[in-house]
Every structure is written in C-alpha cells, then in structure tokens.
Amino acid sequence: MSELIMQALYSGVLQGGSYALIALGLALVFGTMKVINLAHGELVLLAAYMAYTVESRFGLSPMFAIPVALVLVCICAVLVYFLISLIRKDRELNSLILTYGVGIILTNAVLLIWSADVRSTSSAWMQDALVFGPFYSMRSEVLFFVVSMALMGGLWWWLSKSWYGRAVRAVSSNRDAAKLMGINPRTTEIVSFVVAGILAAFAGVAIFSYGVIQPAFGHALTVKAFIITVLAGIGSIPGVMVGALLLGIAEALTVTLASSALQELVGMGLFLLVLFVMPNGLFGAAGRRG
Amino acid sequence: MNRISSKIGLVAAALSLHVGGAFADEILVGAEIPLTGSLARVGAGMHEGISVAVDVFNKTNGKHTIKIVTADDESAPAKAIAAVEKLAGDGVVAITGGYGSNNIGPASDAANKLGLPYITSGGVAENLTERGYKTFFRINNTAGYQKAMVGLLDTMQIKSASVVYSTKEATADLAKDVEKELAAKGVAVTLHAFDPAITDFKPIINKVRLQDKPEVIVMVGYENDYVGILRAAKVLKPKVKAMVGVWSLATPKMASDFPDLMPSVYGTALLPFPAEFQTEEGKRFADTYMKLYNKAPDYLGQFGFVQSMILFEAIARAADAGTLKSGGIAQELARTDRQTLIGRVQFSDKGDNLNFVHRMGQHQDGKIAIVWPSDAATGKMNFPGVPW
C-alpha cells in the first residue's frame, strides 16, 4: 500500500507541475487585467500542434519546436489582446464571450489544419521510463516538471524584480495610480499577454511530449487552468504552484485510494470548497503571502 | 437534311427527358455526424464510408440517385437533435450516421418523432435498441464486441484479468458485460473505471500491477485512452501476458502513428492490414475509397459504407414500391437480409443486427493479423506478448 501511495504522490506532483505550467499564463492575465482568457487552452494546444508538426515533418525532437511555438503563440496572444482591447464596455464580462469565441475559432482552425486524429510524440527518449527507487515516470514528465519549476521561479523573479514585472503588478493593483506613475497600462497588458504566450508555448510542447492531443482538448485545458487560478487566488504565482500541486496530488490519491471515475469530481469539489471557505483563493488578496 | 435534324432533335429531347427523370429521382438522405468536437475523428472516418457508399450506389444502381445532405452535430447531444431537425427540414427521407451513444440516443429520438428511419454503427449502448423504435436500426452492438473479446480471452485460457474502462455509456456497458461473462467462466476480474478526462494512467496501472496482478489487462476506451494506458504500462511494466482492447485500436492508423506502443496489442478488427477484400463489393469499396481519399480503408469507413448501402438499397426498394413517404423505408430496412463487408445483416424487431460478431486482430510487425475466430484467422496469435 505504501508503494502505491508513494507512486500516487509522485505522479500527483509531476501532474501538478504540468497543471501549473498550463495555469500560469491564465493566472498572469487574470491578475493583470481581470480578464479570463478562455482561449488560453487553445493557445497551449496550438503550441502542442507546432511540436507535432516539427516532429512529424522534420523528424526533430519536440524541444526544437519551442522557438517556433513561442513566436506563433505570442503573436496569437497579442491578437487576442487587441481584440479584447476593442471592448469598450463591461470588459470583464464581454471578454469572456469574446475569448470563448476565439477558442472555438482556434479549435476549428486546428481541426482544419491538422485533422481530428489523436497525436502524441513518437520520441522514444521522451517516453522512456525514468525510475528512482519506487518512483516511476517518463523522462519527459520529469524534464518538463523541472522546466515548469524554472519558469515559475523566473516569472516570480520577473514580477518582483524587473521594471516591467513591477509595472504589471502596479497595473494589476491600481490601473489609474500606475498611470499617474508613468506606466503605460496598454504596454504592460501587452507584455503580460506575451509572457502568457511564452508560458503557453512551453506548456503545449510539454503536453505533446508526455500526453495525447486532439483538437477538442483546448477547452479542458482552460477549465483546468481556471480551477487552479481560482484555487491560487488572483495574481499569486506561489499560489498557482500550490494550487496545481494540490490538485495533481488530490487527483492521483483519489485514483489510488478510491476510483479514477471520481477524479474530476474531487477536483471540482476541492475548487468549490476553497471558494466557499476562502473566497479569495489560497493566496488571494486577503491573505496573500507570495 | 430536315429528317436528320428532326432525328437529332428527337434524340436530344429523349436525352433531356432522361436527365430530367434522373433529377426527379434524386433522393435526399441525411448524414447527421460529428465532424467537429471530441468525436470529430471517428465522425470523419464514418463520413468517408458514407460518401463511398453514395458513389458506389449511384454508379451501380442506375435507377435511383442518392444525394447526401450532411449536418455536423458537433459531438453534442443537443446539437445532434438540431441536426436531425435541420435535415428533416431539408427534405431528407432517412438518416445515416451518428456517433457516440449519448448523441445517437436523442438524435434517433428526434428522427423517430419525425418519422425518419435512422441507421447507425456508432453507438452500442444497450438502451438504444431497448426503446423498440420501428425507425431505429444499427449494424453492430455490444454483444458482438463482447463475444469477440471473451472468445479471444477464452482461447488464451487466462485465469485473471483487470478491466480498465472509460465511464462513458457504451464503454461502461461493454466492460460490465465482459466482466459478467468472464466471471461466469471462473476468471477473476477486477474493474477499474476511469473518467474520460483523465490523462495520467499511471496510478491505475500501478494498482493493477501491485494489487490485481492479472494475466491480462483489458482496455475498453478510445484511442487517446489506449495511448495513455499503454504508455503508463510501458513505464510501469506490469507482469501481464497480453494487452487487449476493443474498437479503434487494431487499426492501420494506430500501427503507423504509435509503432512503439502497438506491438502484440489486440483489438477488434474486421479485416487484416494490409486489407484483403475477396468479394466484388469489397473490392469496389476499397477501390472507390482509394480513389476518393487516396488511402486504404479502415473500420470506420467500412461500417459507414455498410450501414449506408443497406439504407440506400432499402430506399430504392421503397421508391420502387411507391412507399417512400409512407413508412416504406423502415419496413424495407426491417426486411434486410444480406451478406455485407461485416458479415450477414438481419435486424431484430428492435432494430439490432442479429448476426453481428466482431473479430480480434493483433498488431504484428506493423501489420494487423486476424487471430480470432480461428476460421477467419490470417495469422498466429503472439501470446504471451506485450509492447515492452
């Protein structure tokens, strides 16, 4: 039994790292603009399909797709921003409808270009088992867990130490006051969308490297990212990490101790419980520690 | 000169009458099918088979011409109802298509209310035929898949199995039926349900590896599930003798897309790969499929073709009898009794195919060999054998 639980914890941690990578971009944009980008999952998926194209067309490792995915996804992210910036009234609400529509367009574009087939990496190196004592995983899972942690650390440093990062936080706290301090909110918002695009690009390549992708998969990614963002509390990077790990571990333990059929239920139950007990999320404004 | 002109005129008039007659006899048939959403891949595969059936029927029938009107149900039950209603508004006389029992249920409900015959191969949930509609027909069913899977496991003479299955309606039905039949034969079976949204199967396979310790893992899911389960199994390497799946697994596509995961894996398969068609109809199907899509046909195309050909033939018979719009199509469908690419098709009074039994194939060296039943086998079973 202990071996089962240890493996479940390990799988949960790795899965949590993957969730964190998907959720970071959404959390950043939510924190900056109070906008839930419902097309975020589709941006992640776009990067995953770039990895598929690079691997299937050129026979290269999915890792080589990262530069191409970065450019394409960042361009798409900025386009989404420009569409959102056209909203004149009730931006928070109307952006939901707008980005949901963008998500549908992107899903169907992916379907038209890459067809509805199930895709995944054929790289043997990525899929090979990596065994540490009683812990089993694929190499790609560990690799992208490390990448996820590094990106999270980098983002935390960028937000707390760099000028632009602090500008993002300032706009997030008080847009008008930031303006008075000489910060251009529009530029700052574009920067946060670009950074979200960068994170989505890495997340997409990661998903292709250890999972399975299909055109309709983007929506599920957005939902997962949204749950973690709410669990974390608006704009909290450590919160995203804790929320994602919590969700990953809760799901893995549910599978091990009960049934996988209950996995999604437990995730949603956790989400509702946190909303009920801590409406601002685990690390939200009221009790932010990060 | 005048006589020649008048003869040419008569020939032209006769030709124009013939063309006019052909147009008058063009019959609209609806294809309600998921071309977007989570079932887009299987829906597109079935639609290819429907298009091949139209081409073959129109070239061979000579008297009636079928025209397909397609409506995408977006893999959603509510949209499936809307698609059927739209097709009825377009004037179709019957519907072929549908994928996923949860979509087919409400779609065929709507078709029944509108008096439209509905034929499918995309949903095997038992309750679809339990409704007893006189307008609903399907050419495959859970029992046929169950017979094939249990038959193969019988041949293996296993004593224990773990069944890992998706909680979707059709997969859950099949898994539970397989479990019941195996348990009745004295095989120790453990069931592991998984949510369709799951991506990491390691915790489940680890339970199978450390607690169940079965001889065989039976997978009842869809392509993405199989890839996830086989990946997890390849990492954890449970000591099993075989990995047995069901639909969408023993296919040329899986063999080419996931060559590292497929060796020795079993799944239901109508044909070996490379496909070998013996009958005239089979050869015509394969040639037309190749001409239209420039690829070898798969099981989805085959099922789509068979269901549609049966429907088109019933429509032609009803049109000849003058009962096209007075319930004649459903009556003709109910009378169907013919050999097809999936075997003999006859419908029960509930619309289920009485003779449907699938075959089991195994991935062997990038090809698919039929290994069960023995009278249809094209290769020897590689047992014990797993991809790792």
Contacts of B238 in chain A (CB under 8 A): none
A266 lies in some domain: no
Let me know: does A230 contact A281? Beta carbons within 8 Å.
yes
pLDDT of residue A285: 63
Domain ranges of chain B: 2-141+278-346, 143-274+359-376
Regarding an ipTM greater than 0.85, the answer is yes
Distance (Å, whole) CA A65 – CA A205: 7
A289 lies in some domain: no
Of the candidates B43, B199, B211, the beta carbon closest to that of A211 is on B199
Look up the pTM and report it. 0.87
Inter-chain CB proximity A136 and B198 less than 8 Å: no
A272 lies in some domain: no
Q: Do strands B266-268 and B216-220 pair parallel, antiparallel, or not at all (unpaired)?
A: unpaired
Distance from CA of A186 to the nearest CA of B (A): 35
Q: Considering only CA atoms, which of A12, A21, A58, A30 is closest in space to residue A204?
A: A21
**pLDDT profile of chain B (388 residues), mean per 10:** 47 42 73 93 95 97 94 96 97 96 96 97 92 96 94 96 94 95 96 92 94 97 95 96 96 92 95 86 95 91 97 97 94 96 94 95 96 92 96
Distance from CA of A112 to the nearest CA of B (A): 10
A60 lies in some domain: yes
Question: Is B75 in CB contact (< 8 Å) with chain A?
Answer: yes
Domain B2-141+278-346 matches domain B143-274+359-376 at the CATH topology level: yes
User: Range of A37's domain?
Assistant: 2-217
pLDDT tens digits, A197-241: 999 999 999 999 999 999 989 999 999 999 998 888 876 888 899
State the sign of the Cα–Cα–Cα–Cα dihedral B279, B316, B311, B96.
positive
Band of residue A264 on the pLDDT scale cut at 50, 70, 90: confident
Let me know: does B293 contact B125? Beta carbons within 8 Å.
no
Let me know: does B242 contact B264? Beta carbons within 8 Å.
yes
Closest chain A residue to the Cα of B39, Cα to Cα: A116
A249 lies in some domain: no
In CATH terms, the fold of domain B143-274+359-376 is: Rossmann fold (3.40.50)
Inter-chain CB proximity A127 and B224 less than 8 Å: no
Whether a cis peptide bond, with omega within 30° of 0, leads into A279 is no
Closest chain A residue to the Cα of B38, Cα to Cα: A216
pLDDT tens digits, A102-132: 999 999 999 999 998 899 999 999 999 999 9
User: Which of the residue ranges A45-49, A132-136, A235-239 would you say has the lowest mean pLDDT?
Assistant: A235-239
User: Which of the residue ranges A23-27, A32-36, A60-64, B215-219 would you say has the lowest mean pLDDT?
Assistant: A32-36
Q: Where does chain B have alpha helices with state H?
A: 2-24, 40-61, 77-89, 101-113, 127-130, 142-156, 169-184, 202-207, 223-236, 252-257, 280-293, 299-321, 328-334
Band of residue A286 on the pLDDT scale cut at 50, 70, 90: low
Q: Which CATH superfamily is domain B2-141+278-346 in?
A: Response regulator (3.40.50.2300)
Let me know: does B219 contact B226? Beta carbons within 8 Å.
yes
Number of A to B CB contacts under 8 A, please give it: 108
Inter-chain CB proximity B192 and A260 less than 8 Å: yes
Distance (Å, whole) CA B36 – CA A214: 11
Counting the structural domains of chain A, the total is: 1
Statement: residue A191 has pLDDT above 70: yes
A188 lies in some domain: yes
Closest chain B residue to the Cα of A264, Cα to Cα: B195
- Structure-model confidence comparison of residues B47 and A172, the more confident one: B47
Contacts of A214 in chain B (CB under 8 A): 38, 41, 224
Closest chain A residue to the Cα of B165, Cα to Cα: A261
